[in-house]
Amino acid sequence: MTYRGASILAALALAFAFSALADATGKWNAEFDTQIGQQKYTFELKVDGANLTGKATSPRGTQEIKEGKAGGDDVSFVELVEIQGQPVRIEYKGKVSGDEMKLTRKVGDFGQSEAVAKRAK
């Protein structure tokens, strides 16, 4: 193999590796089955390197996403809300695969639920 051929193969392998990384940037819709019933969420996310920012909109309003991280196909972020006058931390961990993001949502000490968010078209 020539040097040029090896360079082309290396460039293709690198391009393939980067294309395999999932990008959570965009608008996502999810429904969580919670102790208080079904809750619809819209997440608007932006990934910049390992940082994930954005907002979460639910029946309680819109909250800025905190502590967002992205790496490969993994994402994590926090939503801080007030429930019955008390601050509650909602932690999300997920895996992005194409136009789906599987999320686990932990609401303080109250419980945990899972949902599959779909990328809005």
* Per-residue confidence in pLDDT tens, the chain, 121 aa: 565 655 555 444 444 444 345 799 999 999 998 877 899 999 999 999 999 999 999 988 999 999 999 999 999 999 999 888 999 999 999 999 999 999 999 998 888 999 999 999 8
Contact, 22 vs 113, CB < 8 A?
A: no
**pTM (two decimals):** 0.79
Residue 19, pLDDT score? 39
Residue 4, pLDDT score? 63
Residue 110, pLDDT score? 84
Residue 59, pLDDT score? 86
Contact, 78 vs 66, CB < 8 A?
A: yes
Residue ranges of E strands in 59-110: 61-71, 74-83, 86-97, 100-107
Of the candidate CATH numbers 3.40.30.10, 3.30.1640.10, 2.40.128.20, 1.10.287.130, the domain formed by 22-119 belongs to 2.40.128.20
Residue 11, pLDDT score? 45
Tokens 């303080």 sit at which residue? 108
Residue 89, pLDDT score? 95
